[in-house]
């Protein structure tokens, strides 16, 4: 009888879960509905496999899973029986009073609320749409890579290989808070080869993206009241980290040559020396400008003279199109003033949460101790897999291929922007990076455009989170345009919708 029931209810569907899980679900349903009762014997694996026309190993695995979960009992030389002590799956009804209590429940203890201080409302962030709200047809992001070209197959290959190797059990246990030793060694080789640095694995901490590295650096260096110099406009999330720790922020202007080092020197001369200078010298976020060589040397000299730390955020070094890129400040750092942070989130995909922090060993050890408190360690299997891709050159090959593709997309995007949106905004072609910095005509509000575009099916930045200074009216007509994650057809479609939104503002 049981075999006949399963023949009727069990449908092999290769589009969904594995066969053994499908069969497991069917048997559980028969038990829950009372058709299979406690103590009842199930068909032998060979007979059930033949009747369902599936591999016997599938049935064996199903029975093993059911046994592990307590649905059946496997008795030696006797067979498989429905368990006499079944798992409790009955849902408990919540009374209306309980539902009201849950909805209105408040903590019975003092709460330090920081959400208002640290909320980041970047309109291009990916979010889950509320029920009934259609997803946008197009999304122009803040400057993300295209995950469709990421070396995922290669990464999965190594992940699977390590998962099946004799190291699997070791890698699934607790590991070093500094990150995989293998990855730190390969990353040191990669940074030394591509960025002219001279670091060892002891001077590297693996993090979950650049943001964690910034947070850990701030925790190591900053105390309430410390002075931190930050660029303006700048990276909103970094400023919020410094602000959260009680730092006093001094905003340094950014022009076509990068952060204004003259201003930093003037402040130092008036004894307003910072504890930390945060800088994005390569493709500054959001303006995409690069700190010129002369300013780099002056900043290094000032750091040496006034003994302040420099946090160098090098989030997208790998994409430079006009000429050979200037090497990071960290490659010139003979006095150990630089803390260098970066990640693979922009070179591979945002979901690959592997970043790094490079600093003197004593600083790395302090940061690792803090990291252990908030996030015990990274995912060792992923870290080992990425290390292998670095060793075999798969990452370098991916960077070369994506470099060529993104340069083509940059040229296409600049042409479309000029042809279609020229009357409404101005921009300069960046020499690299993942985004274009543009400015609307003075009477056009970025927020108003974003609202109109959203109604037409385009998700685009509303111009917020570029400027941070409190109590100062900030410009409302700048926008950062990510061009890498859309192919030529998609970008053309997005700009067409964008133009429809802008037409409503008219021309004067």
Three-state DSSP at 295 gives: helix
Least confident among 14-28, 247-261, 323-337, 471-485: 14-28
Whether pLDDT at 114 is above 90: no
Question: To the nearest whole percent, how much of the chain has pLDDT over 70?
Answer: 87
Q: What pairing do the DSSP bridges indicate for beta strands 79-82 and 41-42? A: antiparallel
Give residue limits of the domains in the chain: 2-82, 124-144+401-503, 149-392
Which residue, 429, 419, 427, 417, is CA-closest to 140? 417
Least confident among 11-20, 98-107, 234-243, 244-253: 98-107
CATH domain 124-144+401-503 topology: 3.90.1150
Host H or E run for residue 459 = strand 458-459
What pLDDT is recorded for position 15?
Answer: 47
Least confident among 129-138, 156-165, 395-404: 129-138
Burial tier of 281 (Cβ tally within 10 Å: 0-12, 13-18, 19+)? buried
Q: Omega before 103 cis (within 30°)?
A: no
What pLDDT is recorded for position 230?
Answer: 97
Does 149-392 carry CATH code 3.40.640.10? yes
Distances (CA, A) of 318 to 86, 184, 185, 253: 56, 19, 20, 25
Whether pLDDT at 475 is above 60: yes
What is the arithmetic mean of pLDDT over 155-181?
82
Each residue's pLDDT tens digit, 336-366: 899 999 999 888 888 888 999 999 999 999 9
What pLDDT is recorded for position 158?
Answer: 86
Backbone angles phi, psi at 35, to 5 degrees: -75, -40
Q: Retrieve residue 199's tokens.
A: 């670091």
CA distance 418 to 216: 42
Local confidence band at 176 (pLDDT 50, 70, 90 cut-offs)? confident
Each residue's pLDDT tens digit, 190-203: 999 999 999 999 99
Local confidence band at 8 (pLDDT 50, 70, 90 cut-offs)? low
What is the arithmetic mean of pLDDT over 450-465?
93
Local confidence band at 150 (pLDDT 50, 70, 90 cut-offs)? very high
Local confidence band at 236 (pLDDT 50, 70, 90 cut-offs)? very high
More confident residue, 254 or 31: 254
**Whether 343 contacts 189, CB under 8 Å:** no
What pLDDT is recorded for position 231?
Answer: 97
What pLDDT is recorded for position 86?
Answer: 81
Burial tier of 78 (Cβ tally within 10 Å: 0-12, 13-18, 19+)? exposed
Q: How far is CA 164 from the centre of its chain?
A: 27
Q: At what angle do helices 210-221 and 236-244 cross, to 10 degrees?
A: 30
What is the arithmetic mean of pLDDT over 71-83?
89
Q: Retrieve residue 480's tokens.
A: 């950062």
**pTM of structure:** 0.79
Each residue's pLDDT tens digit, 118-147: 654 444 444 444 444 567 889 999 999 999
Least confident among 8-22, 74-88, 406-420: 8-22
Place of tokens 């420099």: 310
What pLDDT is recorded for position 244?
Answer: 93
What is the residue-averaged pLDDT of the chain? 86
Three-state DSSP at 482 gives: strand
Each residue's pLDDT tens digit, 262-272: 999 999 999 89
What is the arithmetic mean of pLDDT over 74-101?
70
Q: Retrieve residue 358's tokens.
A: 């490079």
Note the CATH number of domain 2-82.
1.10.10.10
What pLDDT is recorded for position 358?
Answer: 96
Whether pLDDT at 456 is above 90: yes
Which residue, 4, 11, 8, 1, is CA-closest to 54? 11
């Amino acid at each position: 009888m049981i075999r006949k029931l399963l023949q009727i209810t069990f449908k092999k569907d290769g589009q969904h879960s594995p066969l053994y899980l499908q069969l497991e679900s069917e048997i559980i349903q028969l038990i829950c509905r009372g058709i299979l009762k406690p103590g009842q014997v199930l068909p032998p694996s060979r007979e059930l496999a033949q009747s369902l026309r599936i591999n016997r190993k599938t049935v064996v695995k199903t029975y093993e899973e059911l046994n592990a979960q307590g649905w059946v009992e496997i008795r030696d030389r006797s067979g498989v029986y429905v368990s006499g002590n079944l798992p409790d799956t009955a849902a408990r009804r919540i009374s209306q009073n309980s539902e009201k209590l849950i909805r209105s429940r408040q903590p019975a203890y003092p709460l330090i609320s920081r959400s208002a201080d640290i909320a980041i409302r970047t309109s291009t962030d990916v979010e889950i749409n509320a029920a009934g709200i259609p997803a946008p047809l197009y999304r122009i992001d803040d400057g993300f890579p295209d995950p469709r070209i990421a070396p995922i197959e290669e990464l999965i290959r190594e992940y699977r290989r390590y998962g099946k190797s004799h190291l699997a059990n070791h890698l699934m246990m607790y590991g070093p808070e500094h990150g995989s030793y293998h990855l730190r060694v390969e990353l040191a080789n990669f940074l030394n080869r591509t960025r002219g640095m001279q670091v060892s694995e002891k001077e590297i901490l693996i993090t979950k993206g650049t943001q964690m590295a910034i947070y850990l650096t701030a925790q190591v260096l900053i105390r309430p009241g410390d002075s931190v110099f930050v660029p303006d406009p700048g990276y909103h999330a970094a400023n919020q980290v410094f602000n959260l720790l009680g730092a006093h922020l001094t905003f340094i202007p950014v022009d076509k040559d990068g952060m204004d080092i003259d201003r930093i020197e003037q402040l130092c001369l008036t004894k307003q020396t910072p504890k930390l200078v945060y800088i994005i010298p390569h493709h500054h976020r959001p303006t995409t400008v690069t700190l010129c060589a002369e300013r780099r040397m002056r900043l290094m000299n000032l750091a040496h003279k006034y003994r302040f730390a420099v946090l160098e955020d090098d989030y997208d070094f790998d994409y430079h199109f006009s000429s050979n890129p200037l090497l990071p400040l960290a490659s010139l750092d003979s006095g150990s003033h630089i803390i260098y942070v970066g990640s693979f989130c922009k070179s591979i995909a945002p979901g690959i949460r592997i970043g790094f922090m490079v600093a003197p060993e004593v600083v790395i050890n302090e940061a690792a101790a803090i990291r252990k408190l908030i996030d015990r360690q990274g995912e060792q299997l992923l870290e080992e897999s990425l290390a292998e891709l670095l060793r075999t050159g798969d990452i370098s090959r991916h960077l070369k291929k994506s470099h060529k593709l993104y340069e083509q997309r940059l040229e296409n995007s600049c042409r479309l922007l000029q042809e279609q949106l020229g009357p409404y905004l101005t921009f300069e072609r960046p020499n690299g990076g993942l985004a274009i910095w543009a400015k609307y005509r003075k009477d056009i509000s970025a927020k108003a455009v974003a609202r109109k575009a959203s109604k037409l099916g385009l998700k685009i930045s509303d111009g917020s989170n570029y400027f941070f200074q409190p109590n100062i009216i900030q410009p409302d007509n700048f926008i950062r345009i990510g061009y890498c994650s859309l192919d030529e057809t998609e970008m053309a479609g997005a700009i067409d919708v964008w133009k429809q939104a802008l037409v409503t503002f008219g021309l004067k």
